């Protein structure tokens, strides 16, 4: 590294940064109008992201990346879903519950000017049951005179209320310091159980693609229900299912079975559930209804899994209904709509007839193997050296930027850091990704490539 003009410490820092696992997840929960969305905007440092959604308007995006004091984490925003037909208590509790389930820590927002309401108390009970670390945010404390209001919230029994004005930024720094203390360095749920425990699968897809049919087909009588939350009326969350002689954990299956007939906000609710399941899983099996055109919603679900860095399998369901014409158009659609994820193993199944169910497990295993692949540094650099001399970067402004060396900083999914002598264009980066895949496989997994340029 030194002779290539890179400082050894910079190199080590870059590798460490690129190698971090999945980010810890923070959920922001609370009643409507307490200022959750305002606070999320404050935390992620962007305005346009969340605020000014009209109630009931579909908003698929529920997780955002944030950084405070050099640490990065994800924020799950539950502010986009207004009250629904179930009545306000139930709806707040339900959405909070999903968000809390997927989170490593929770910010509970209360309107200090209003004080603790019955709905707030209901959320507190959920928080107690979930046992996740909680930071209590006493919001709308816009000036010193509001601090007394905040101190009343000690009565909630969640520890110190942090007086905050999400609107003006007052107190948010201290609150975020508390958040960092509450968040684990790396999310324990993702890697804590990886050794020896069952692998975690999220079966996801838009409504009516056949998730529940598929689950019933593969599970048969074998299912074992785990993770029941005592004292709630909710369905169980995760199920252990034996497939191909191996036990798998299907996460958040309650979301698949449960038929809550929501009107307003139902799409948002589904997105929140999908995001929560993906966060908890190692591999996402994305179910597509092959009898219908691939939709924007299908694409959003694929994007969600890719952005979360999960291994991925795409299963085209309802294959029994396809005629020759539909099969022809489906192939065209897959090429145009899913070209970016051509690396994902594909299975054509029918939950109704059981067609190709036996191909599901090998596809999942392939994807997980790709997700965990590690390329030794020597092999990687031999490959990079050949690639760079056979296909140099185009000359720009009389200079030719070169990839000097690289290393794989992490797995799950594979992450690479490349060190270069100048700016590497997006097209060349994509070329490198393509060649890496050709050379090393990485079937079923997104890969991350970051490039460091010598100063
Ligand atoms: P959510 O429904 O919990 O997401 O709440 P919003 O973020 O949409 O905020 C509800 C209302 O409270 C909006 O009119 C905000 O401008 C206002 N609000 C949010 N935070 C503060 C604050 O710190 N101080 C004051 N005075 N108003 C706030
Ligand atoms: P979910 O909302 O994704 O859980 O979808 P469901 O499992 O409830 O299925 C929606 C509808 O599609 C139901 O009427 C199922 O019977 C039907 N369905 C599911 N899988 C198949 C399949 O492979 N072939 C056919 N023909 N219908 C299916």
Task: Specify whether the CB–CB gap between 205 and 292 falls below 8 A.
Answer: no
| 19 annotated as a binding-site residue | no
Q: In sequence order, what DSSP letters do the residues of 338-352 get, joined into one string? A: SGGGTTS-EEE--TT
Q: Which two tokens stand for residue 320?
A: 């029994």
| 107 annotated as a binding-site residue | no
Q: Please give the distance, rounded to the nearest whole angstrom, from the Cα atom of residue 452 to the centre of ligand 2.
A: 48
Any ligand 1 atom below 6 A from CB of 79: yes
Any ligand 2 atom below 6 A from CB of 216: no
> Residue 82's pLDDT is what?
46
Q: Give helix then strand counts, H and E, for the chain.
A: 15, 16
Distance CA 67, CA 343 (A): 31
Any ligand 1 atom below 6 A from CB of 150: no
ipTM over 0.85: no
Q: Whose CA is nearest to atom 18 of ligand 1?
A: 35
List residues bridging with 250 in a β-sheet. Answer: 201, 239
Backbone angles phi, psi at 50, to 5 degrees: -115, -40
Residuewise pLDDT in 10s, the chain (455 residues): 666 677 777 777 777 767 666 788 899 988 888 998 889 989 988 644 444 344 433 344 567 888 888 888 888 877 644 444 345 556 666 667 777 887 899 999 999 999 999 888 888 988 888 889 999 999 999 999 999 999 999 999 999 999 999 999 999 999 999 999 999 875 443 433 344 589 999 999 988 899 989 998 888 755 655 544 443 434 457 888 888 888 899 988 876 765 444 444 566 667 778 888 898 899 999 999 999 999 998 998 999 999 889 999 999 999 999 999 999 999 999 999 999 999 999 999 999 999 999 999 999 999 999 999 999 999 999 999 999 999 999 998 888 899 999 999 889 999 999 999 989 999 999 999 999 999 999 999 999 998 888 76
> Residue 199's pLDDT is what?
93
Distance CA 49, CA 435 (A): 35
* Nearest C-alpha neighbor of 448 from the set 420, 429, 424: 429
pTM over 0.80: no
| 318 annotated as a binding-site residue | yes
Q: Which two tokens stand for residue 116?
A: 């603790």
* Nearest C-alpha neighbor of 287 from the set 355, 349, 220: 349
Any ligand 1 atom below 6 A from CB of 407: no
Compute CA distances 92 → 119, 252, 377, whole Å. Answer: 8, 19, 49
> Residue 188's pLDDT is what?
42
| 210 annotated as a binding-site residue | yes
- Number of other residues whose CB lies within 10 A of the CB of residue 350: 21
- Whose tokens are 């309650």? That residue is 254
Distance CA 400, CA 446 (A): 28
Task: Specify whether the CB–CB gap between 39 and 137 falls below 8 A.
Answer: yes
Any ligand 1 atom below 6 A from CB of 59: no
* Strand pairing report for 238-243 and 403-410: unpaired
């Amino acid at each position: 590294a030194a002779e290539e003009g890179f400082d050894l410490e910079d190199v080590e820092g870059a590798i460490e940064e690129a190698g971090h696992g999945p980010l810890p997840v923070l959920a922001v929960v609370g009643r409507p109008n307490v200022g959750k969305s305002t606070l999320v905007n404050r935390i992620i440092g962007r305005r346009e992201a969340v605020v000014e959604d009209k109630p009931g308007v579909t908003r698929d995006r529920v997780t955002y990346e944030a950084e405070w004091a050099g640490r990065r984490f994800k924020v799950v925003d539950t502010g986009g879903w207004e009250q629904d037909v179930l009545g306000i208590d139930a709806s707040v509790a339900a959405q909070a519950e999903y968000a809390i389930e997927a989170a490593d820590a929770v910010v509970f927002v209360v309107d200090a000017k209003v004080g603790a309401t019955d709905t707030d108390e209901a959320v507190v009970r959920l928080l107690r049951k979930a046992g996740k670390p909680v930071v209590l945010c006493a919001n709308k404390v816009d000036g010193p005179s509001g601090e007394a209001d905040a101190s009343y919230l000690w009565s909630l029994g969640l520890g110190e209320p942090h007086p905050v004005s999400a609107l003006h930024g007052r107190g948010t720094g201290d609150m975020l310091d508390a958040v960092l203390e509450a968040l684990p360095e790396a999310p324990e749920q993702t890697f804590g159980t990886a050794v020896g425990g069952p692998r975690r699968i999220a079966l996801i897809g838009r409504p009516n693609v056949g998730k529940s049919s598929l689950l019933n087909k593969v599970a048969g009588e074998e299912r074992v229900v785990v993770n029941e939350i005592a004292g709630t009326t909710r369905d169980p969350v995760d199920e252990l299912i034996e497939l191909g002689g191996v036990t798998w954990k299907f996460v958040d299956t309650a979301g698949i079975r449960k038929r809550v007939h929501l009107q307003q906000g139902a799409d948002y609710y589904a997105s929140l559930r999908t995001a929560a399941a993906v966060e908890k899983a190692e591999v996402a099996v994305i179910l597509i209804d092959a009898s219908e055109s691939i939709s924007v919603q299908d694409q959003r679900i694929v994007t969600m899994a890719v952005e979360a860095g999960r291994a991925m399998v795409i299963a085209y369901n309802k294959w029994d209904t396809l005629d020759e014409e539909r099969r022809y158009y489906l192939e065209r659609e897959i090429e145009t709509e899913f070209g970016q994820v051509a690396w994902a193993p594909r299975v054509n199944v029918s939950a109704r007839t059981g067609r190709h169910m036996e191909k599901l497990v090998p596809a999942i295993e392939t994807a997980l193997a790709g997700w965990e692949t590690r390329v030794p540094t020597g092999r990687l650099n031999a490959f990079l050296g050949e690639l760079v001399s056979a296909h140099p970067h185009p000359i720009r402004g009389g200079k030719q930027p070169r990839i000097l060396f690289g290393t794989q900083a992490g797995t799950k999914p594979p992450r690479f850091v490349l060190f270069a002598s100048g700016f590497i264009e997006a097209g060349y980066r994509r070329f490198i990704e393509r060649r890496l895949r050709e050379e090393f496989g990485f079937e079923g997994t997104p890969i991350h490539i970051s490039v460091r340029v010598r100063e």
